[in-house]
Amino acid sequence: MKPVVLLIGKLPNVIGDVARQLDHLPIQWLGAHDQAEVRHQLDTEPRIACAIMGAGLDDTVRGEMVGIIASRRPDICIHLKDRTSGPEGLVPFVLRVVQHEILEQMERG
């Protein structure tokens, strides 16, 4: 079974674009755009390995989502993308996180 990564972002098409660009990786991608979707994904998918949040969300919303994830699933690492790299920095950021957090650990066994 593929590890699951929860992508959280402001715009659905941005998250979809990330998943399409990285579909060659052995990862199952889930998306969420608001607190209700984050709660739903956390409650229905026990295999989420990590959560990656884009920078387009307001800081208050990002903080609330971190709180939701931390309280419901303290086993999940939460990665917040910086704002200075802009939207074009999202795919490289997700790739780095997935390489380090998931793929390298899978290789080690």
Domain interval for residue 101: 4-108
Cβ neighbours of 94 (radius 10 Å): 24
DSSP state of 14: H
pLDDT of residue 5: 97
Query: Reduced to 3 states, what is the DSSP secondary structure of residue 67?
Result: helix
Element (H or E) spanning 96, and its range? helix 90-98
Residue 14 binned pLDDT confidence (cut-offs 50, 70, 90): confident
Compute the average pLDDT of residues 4-20. 89
Count: domains in the chain: 1
Compute the average pLDDT of residues 65-75. 97
Compute the average pLDDT of residues 75-96. 95
Residue 26 binned pLDDT confidence (cut-offs 50, 70, 90): very high
CATH number of the domain that residue 56 is part of = 3.40.50.2300
- pLDDT exceeds cutoff 80 at 7: yes
Can you spell out the DSSP letters for 23-58?
Answer: TTSS-EEEEE-SHHHHHHHHHH-TTEEEEEE-S-S-
| Average pLDDT taken over every residue of the chain | 94
